[in-house]
Structure 1
Amino acid sequence: MELWAIITFVSAFLQNLRSTLQKHLKGRMGTTGATFVRFGYGVPFALLYLGILHYGLARPFPAPNGVFAVWAVVGAVCQIAATFLLVHIFSFRNFAVGTAYSRTEPAQAALLALILFNETITLSVVVAIAISVVGVMLISVARSAISPRSLVTSVMSPTALLGLLSGFFFGVSAISYRQASLALAPSLPEPNAVMQASFTLVVVIVMQTLAMLLWMLWRDRAELARIKSAWRTGLMVGFVGATASFGWFTAMTLQQAAVVKALAQVEILFTFASAVFFFKEKINLLEVLGCLLIVCGILALLLL
Structure 2
Amino acid sequence: MELWIPITIAAAFLQNLRSALQRHLRSSLGTRGASFVRFGYGFPIALLYVLILHFAVGYSLPALNTGFVFWAVVGGLAQIYATIMLVYLFSLRNFTVGTAYSKTEPMQAAVFGWIILGETLKLGAVLAIIIGVIGVMLISVARTKLTIGNLLAALFSRTALIGMASGGVFGISAVAYRTASLSLDGPNPLMQAAVTLVCVTGFQTLYMLIWMLLIDRAEIGRVARSWRSSSLVGLAGVVGSAGWFTAMTLQQVAYVRALGQIELVFTFMASVLVFKERVNTLEVAGCLLILAGILGIVML
TM-score range, shorter chain: 0.7 to 0.9
2:271 maps to which residue?
A: 275
TM-score norm. by structure 2 comes to 0.80
Q: Look up the equivalent residue of 1:26 and give its one-letter code.
A: R
Range with bigger deviation, 205-214 or 59-68? 59-68
Structure 2: which 5+ runs fail to align? none
Q: How many residues align?
A: 298
8 A Cα contact 1:96 1:144, kept in partner? no
Aligned to 1:286: 282
Indicate yes or no: 2:190 matched with 1:194: yes
Query: What is the letter of the counterpart of residue 25 of structure 1?
Result: L
Q: Could you tell me which residue of structure 2 aligns to residue 144 of structure 1? A: 143
Q: What is the Cα deviation at residue 154 of structure 1?
A: 3.7
1:214 Cα deviation from its structure 2 partner: 0.3
Structure 2 counterparts to residues 3-152 of structure 1, below 5 A: 6-89=6-89, 102-113=102-113, 131=131, 135=135, 138=138, 140-141=139-140, 143-145=142-144, 147=146, 149=148, 150-152=150-152
Structure 2 CA distance, aligned partners of 1:153 and 1:280? 29
User: Partners of 1:162 and 1:244 in 2: how far apart?
Assistant: 24
User: What are the within-5 Å matches in structure 2 for residues 199-214 of structure 1?
Assistant: 199-214=195-210
- 1:22-75 C-alpha deviation (Å, 9 max, x unpaired): 223222222211111111000111011111111111011122222222211111
Indicate whether 1:265 and 2:264 are aligned.
no
Report if the CA contact (8 A) 2:258-2:295 is conserved.
no
Mapped to 1, the partners of 2:174 and 2:55 lie a distance apart of: 28
Q: Distance in 2 between matches of 1:283 and 1:154?
A: 18
Shift of 1:249: 4.0
TM-score normalised by the chain length of structure 1: 0.79
Any unmatched runs of 5+ in structure 1? none
- Whether the aligned pair in 2 keeps the contact of 1:106 and 1:262 (CA below 8 Å) is no
Percent identity over the alignment is: 54
The alpha-carbon distance between structure 1 residues 280 and 78, as it changes in their structure 2 partners (threshold 3 A), is: closer
Counterpart of 2:218 in structure 1 is 222
Q: Report the 3-state secondary structure (helix = DSSP H, G, I; strand = E; otherwise coil) of the residue aligned with 1:16.
A: helix
Farther off after superposition, 125-134 or 219-228? 125-134
More displaced, 20-29 or 72-81? 20-29
Equivalents in 2 of 1:98, 1:276: separation in Å? 14
**Whole-angstrom CA distance in 2 between matches of 1:296 and 1:24:** 28
